Amino acid sequence: MGLPDGEECVARLNIIMSESEIGFEPNRSSIAGDPEPTMERFVRAMADCGDFQIEAGGHTDSQGSEGFNAELSRSRAQAIVSAMADAGISVANMSARGYGESRPVATNQTEEGREINRRIEFRLLSPHPLDADNIPAPVTIAGVTGEEVDPPPPRT
């Protein structure tokens, strides 16, 4: 049918992210710069990819504490997934995970290396497409340990 497989979908997202001008405020998860051009590219890339389970993984350099970096990386990954949802992309099959400083791809001894390590990478969680209509509602996770948090009561 000419539709992309999960690996191709993730490759598209990673190329877009590597070419984007999306950044983050220092030590924060606030997106810096204008995410709109990148989100427009994500919309096109995800048009045929919404049925795959995809993780947005946040990574940091080694500056700061391990716990802070884990939470910062998770918050940044969640900021990207939230921006994708705000752009109209179905993120029902997406998740955000923070890896902190645990997976460097460059040295943390230079500013250039630290800059490379501060990144968002997309990863395919399953090569098999899912039916988004049959997926249970997401559970809100907080903190570094991943303890479950009860959702707020419905408004009446």
Q: d(Cα 70, Cα 59) in Å, to the nearest integer? A: 8
For 54-94, the pLDDT digits (tens) are 999 999 999 999 999 999 999 999 999 999 999 999 999 99
Question: In this predicted structure, what is the pLDDT of residue 26?
Answer: 83
Q: Would you list the domain boundaries of the chain?
A: 6-129+141-148
Under CATH, what is the fold of the domain 6-129+141-148?
60s Ribosomal Protein L30; Chain: A; (3.30.1330)
What is the DSSP secondary-structure string of the chain?
-----HHHHHHHHHHHHHH---EE-TTS-PEES--HHHHHHHHHHHTTTTTS-EEEEEE--SSS-HHHHHHHHHHHHHHHHHHHHHTT---TTEEEEE-TTSS-SS-SSSHHHHHHHSEEEEEES-SS---GGGSPPPPPEETTTTEE-PPPPPP-
pTM, two decimal places: 0.80
Beta bridge partners of 56: 96, 122
Confidence of residue 130 (pLDDT cuts 50, 70, 90): confident
Q: Which amino acid is at 120?
A: I
Bridging pattern class, strands 141-142 and 23-24: unpaired
Chain segment 20-48, per-residue pLDDT in tens: 988 888 889 999 888 999 999 999 999 99
Confidence at residue 108, expressed as pLDDT on a 0 to 100 scale = 94
The predicted model gives 145-149 an average pLDDT of 56
Top pLDDT among 138 and 25 is at 25
